[in-house]
Every structure is written in C-alpha cells, then in structure tokens.
A and B are shown apart, each in its own frame.
Chain A
Amino acid sequence: MIWFYLISGLFLGWSLGANDASNIFGTAVGTRMIKFRTAAIITTIFVILGSVISGAGATHTLGKLGAVNAIAGSFTVALAAATTVAWMTKLKLPVSSSQAIVGAIIGWNLFTGSPTDINSLTKIISTWIICPLLTAFFSFLLYKITIKILYKINIHILEQDVYNRIGLVLVGAFGAYSLGANNIANVMGVFVPSSPFSSLSFGNFFSINGTQQLFLLGAIAISVGVFTYSYKVMMTVGNDLFKLTPVAALVVVLAESIVLFLFASKSLERWLISHGLPPIPLVPVSSSQAVIGGIIGIVLAKKGRGINYKLLGKISSGWVTTPIIAAIISFVSLFFVQNVFEQKVVQPSNNKDVNVEHQIKINKKVFHIPDKTDIKSKVPDKFRKQKSISSKNRINNQ
C-alpha cells in the first residue's frame, strides 16, 4: 500500500521540479546564456546530490503549522499540493511549492478540526511579503554596483560573457543543491517512517540507507519534472516578465541566493546573536517569490521601463490563489478519501503529557483530555469531592 501512497509524493516531486527549476536557471535559460538541456542536466545532478547528502527531516515551521499524522492524510495533502502546483505550471506561472503545501496542510487542519498554529502561519505569510521585497532590494543594489564595476574594469565583451556563464552555472548548481536539500523533506519526508527500502552497502566503499533511497527516488521525480515540463515556466521567469540582460540574470540569482541564505543560515543566526545583533528568523522562504522579487529589483534599477505588468499581476494573483486552491483541493479530497475510500486521514492523539495550558493558548478548542494527576495537583481539596463537575468545566473556570 505504501507504494501507492508514494505516488502522490512523486507527483509532488515532479510538480516541484517543473515549477521550481525556473527559480534556479530561469534567468540563465531565458537570456540564452545556458541551453535548457544543459540547465536540466546540472539541476538533475545537484538536486540528487542535495537530496541524498543533505536532505533532512521535515521543515520545522511547516511541522509546527500542522502535524499530518496519518499516511492517507499525508497522501492527500501531498496530492492536493502537487495538483495545485501542476495546474499553475500549466498556466506557466512560477508559484511557491511551499505555499501550496501550507495551503494543503491548512485544508487538512480544517477538515480534521486540528488546531492551526497562528504564530507559525503569521510568520510564514509575512515571509511571502518580506522575501520578494528583500530580494528586490538586494537585486537593485547589486545591479548598480555591478554596472559601476563593469564600466571601470576593461574586460573584453567575450571574456565577460564567459565569466557570466560560469557564474550562472555555479550559482545554478548551488541553487539546485539547495533545492534538493531543502525541498526533499516536503516531497518525501512524510513517507520516511514507512519507508519500504532497507540499507544497501556497496562493499567497503559506501552505503545508502532507506531514507536516502527514498530521497533519491524523490529527487529523480524532481529531475523528471525539470526535464519534461519546466521549460515554459523558465521562459516566463527569464524572458516574458522582463527582458533581462545576461548581467542582470546573474545579479537576480545572486540576490535570490543571498536572501535564501539569510533566512536559512544557522551559523549566521549564531554570529548575529553572539554579537548582540537581532537575529534573522529561520523560516523556509519561497525561491519563486525571491526570483520574481529579484527581477523587480532590476526593473526598478532600470527605472521601471519594459516590464510586463499584466503578467506580473497574474503571477501575484497566483501567489494568493495557490494556498487557497490547495486548501480547497485538500479539504475536498480528504472528504473523498475518508468517506468514499474509507481511509484514515487522521490519527486521534493519545498523548497524555500534553500541556493543557499551552493548548488553550494556541486554540480555544481543546481536543485532549488532560491527565488526572496534572489536574489533581492544581484543583483545591474542596473541589475533589465534587466528582460530577467535568474536567473540562474546571479548566474553563480556571
């Protein structure tokens, strides 16, 4: 049965590859600095490496948002997110796979009546605004500095072309590695506890455990998505929205990488804290939004001329509709999976150690029956004799 459920993860991987490859090589392919085939091959190699070597557990913030605890639920959430991303890819719109997953998880929360962590949701939504703005700022600044430098150094146009291509390939390879490392958990993380693979050893050279094999499968799905369906979204990012020059293309991907690094680097956070500076919150930000923000930065540097505002409007509305559509598809699909196919989409929680006060703070609805010893220590003696008063009412009175 696990093989059937894996299909939605693979579909999500395919959708992610088809849509997110544009964030890495869209500007390079759109400006014809790198051929699509070359970009797809580099992405494949580094996505697989990133997934297998550095792919690690679920992204913490997404995990806090909603804990999908049944395999059929995970299957449906992944399928809803994948369908939404695939649909947006068909419309040639670059969207955030993370947004689709957030929407699908909220759909699961709504269907199962599970609490949604408002703090986490607020944090995630705020990054959807801050990320493109920050990338636009970095892109604007970097572009102005780069042009000033290029005017000063006397480098032949053909040599500059070579350096540009090398830069785009290196940044693209790094971006593909990060894509694999950061997103494979979204694609395959929920299937790790039920992985059908066992460890494989190749003599004394190296071994690959079950989780890595699962991630390899997910990475291959991402790569197939890149090869089969990513070209159109690449052209939207690299060409249709704004005619980028090769130098501008490199600046955009550099600005994108800087912002993704800022929001993901634990070492930077430690350094800032150790020097008494405010840390940057570590949340997963969308590379799709970052790359669009980067292009806007270039547009601003060129005084706002030549941008396709109609397409920009379409892309922005795609960011708003993606989580909503994913939530709706998730909700409806869960209904069918639970009631038509009679699969469990949620496991009731038996965790008796849950802190009741913490639950009340997150959400007014309490689903957990508190442990009697916890309540005994808090309830004064005169009330213990009144066995008719329910635990729930006591807590509400407190």
Chain B
Amino acid sequence: MALLFKNTKDLESKIDTYLDLIVKGGFLFKQGVKYYLEEETDEFEKRITSIDKTETDADILRREIETKLYSETLIPESRGDVLGILEACDKVLNLTAETLIQFSVEIPFFLPELKKKYLDLSEASISALEEMVAAVRAYFRDITKVRDHITKVQLYESESDRIAVKIKQKVFRSDISLSQKMHMRYFALHIENIADEAEDLCDRLSIAVIKRYI
C-alpha cells in the first residue's frame, strides 16, 4: 500500500513540475518581449535559450507522465481527459516559445508609441496562460475552484483581443510601409493566440470537470 502511495506521490509531483514549467515559460516570454522592446539583446538572447530548454524539459516530463498513466492504468475514467489537457498545455507552451523565437529570427520593427501596447498585450496573454495553469491544478486538486480560474482566463482573453485590435488599428493607420504593417500585425496576432489557446484548453477543461462527477 505504501508503494502505491509512493508511486502516486511521484506522479503528482511530476504533474506539478510540468505545470510549473509552463508558468516559467510564460514568465520567460514576458521578460523576453520586454527586453526585446527595450533593445537589451543579451538579456533577450538568454531568455530565448531558457525558454527553449524549458519547452524541451516540459516535453520530456509530459511523455513520462502519459506513459506512467497508461502503463499503470491509473485513473481509467479520467486519463483520456488528462492526456488531452496535458497535450493542450504543451501546445500553449510550444506557441509561447515559438513566438518568442520568431522575435529573434525576424527581428520585427515596432512603432515606439506602440511598444507599451505590445507589453500590455503580452501581459494579458501570459496572465491568461497563468490562470489556465491554475485551472488545471484545480482540476487535479480542488475541482470547485476550476470555474473561477476559467472565468479569469476568459476575461484575460477578451482583454488581449481588445488590445490586439487597438494595436492593429493604430498600425494600419500609421505611415509605415505595408510590409512593416503586416509584420507588426503578425506579431500582435501570435501574442494574442497564446490567450486564445489558453481559452480553448479551458473549454475542454470545463467538460472534463462535468464528466468527473455527473
């Protein structure tokens, strides 16, 4: 019996660590965008390296968790949902890492008056990601709190949509070239997508919550 609980504790710890890595990825993204906009290249490059490593570690951990869930036939009723939730979390982290790496690859130009808006947009999107992680933790530990976190994700997603629309409006009303406008629009879209993916995961999570105790 002690062995059963030891295995369970190990897996619980792995799931918590995995979720911590997603939060870390979000934090690195926020910092990365900030340092890019402030033109602090060294700090920005460090964040790129860290987020890439975080994403790789998260992938390894996710595969270990999924293998253990299925090989030890744990939570047979819910493991399909848990598998889907973990993979959706991985998708959000992948998008976060890829978006930051694109800053390094494409070296976009941002209008000075819009830098603050991009910071606000990344702040809103990463807040949605953090609430998403809190909702997933609550699914495992305290199912009554899931709904509160899902509501916050929806609010942050709406906020990120609003900021993204404002950025795009200002960009297309400015005097820069069309290619620069499209480039800036692309980055606004991809930062906004992080919040959209977090919201999609929460839609899936709310169904999983209903299935557990109906």
Contacts and interface: CB of A to CB of B under 8 A. Distances in A.
Given A147-B213, A151-B143, A166-B1, A245 B8 contact: no
Secondary structure at chain B's binding surface: helix, strand, loop or mixed? helix
A126 to B, nearest CB: 35
A35 B141 contact: no
Contacts of A245: 77, 212-213
Contacts of A158: 8, 11-12, 74-75, 140
B73 A32 contact: yes
A153 to B, nearest CB: 9
A154 B141 contact: yes
A159 interface: yes
Contact of B78 (A147, A150, A155, A157): A157
A155 B4 CA distance: 16
Contacts of B4: 162, 165-166
A154 B142 contact: yes
B107 interface: no
B130 to A, nearest CB: 20
User: Which residue among B82, B139, B212 has the maximum number of chain A CB atoms within 10 Å of its CB?
Assistant: B212
**What bracket does the count of chain A residues touching chain B fall in?**
20 to 34
Interface residues on B, range: 20 to 34
B76 A33 contact: yes
Contacts of B139: 157
Interface string A19-45: 000000000000111010000000000
B213 A156 contact: no
A35 B73 contact: yes
Interface string B141-163: 11110000000000000000000
A246 interface: yes
Nearest to B143: A151
Interface in B72-106: 73-78, 82
A31 B77 contact: yes
B214 interface: yes
A302 interface: yes
Nearest to B138: A154
A251 B199 CA distance: 35
A161 interface: yes
A248 B153 CA distance: 32
A172 to B, nearest CB: 16
B139 to A, nearest CB: 8
A156 B12 contact: yes
Contacts of A159: 5, 8, 12
A157 B11 CA distance: 11
B192 to A, nearest CB: 32
Interface in B155-214: 212-214
B143 A156 contact: no
A159 B76 CA distance: 13
Interface in A102-139: none
A150 B213 CA distance: 9
Nearest to A153: B142
A161 B1 CA distance: 13
A157 B140 contact: yes
A151 B145 CA distance: 10
Given A158-B11, A162-B5, A31 B73 contact: no
Interface string B108-144: 0000000000000000000000000000000111111
Interface string A158-176: 1101100110000000000
A302 B8 contact: no
Nearest to B213: A147
A64 B78 CA distance: 50
Interface string A223-256: 0000000000000000000000111000000000
Interface in A151-201: 151, 154-159, 161-162, 165-166
A297 B73 CA distance: 27
Most interface-central of B76, B82, B144 (chain A CB within 10 A):
B76
Contacts of B75: 157-158, 161
B214 A302 contact: yes
A158 B9 CA distance: 8
A159 B74 CA distance: 10
A155 B77 CA distance: 17
A32 B76 contact: yes
A97 B74 CA distance: 34
Interface of A: 31-33, 35, 147, 150-151, 154-159, 161-162, 165-166, 245-247, 302
Interface of B: 1, 4-5, 8, 11-12, 73-78, 82, 139-144, 212-214
7 contacts: A32-B73, A32-B77, A157-B75, A157-B82, A157-B139, A159-B8, A161-B75
Given A32-B73, A157-B141, 4 more contacts: A31-B77, A157-B212, A158-B75, A246-B76
6 nearest interchain CB pairs?
A32-B76, A154-B142, A158-B8, A161-B75, A157-B140, A162-B4
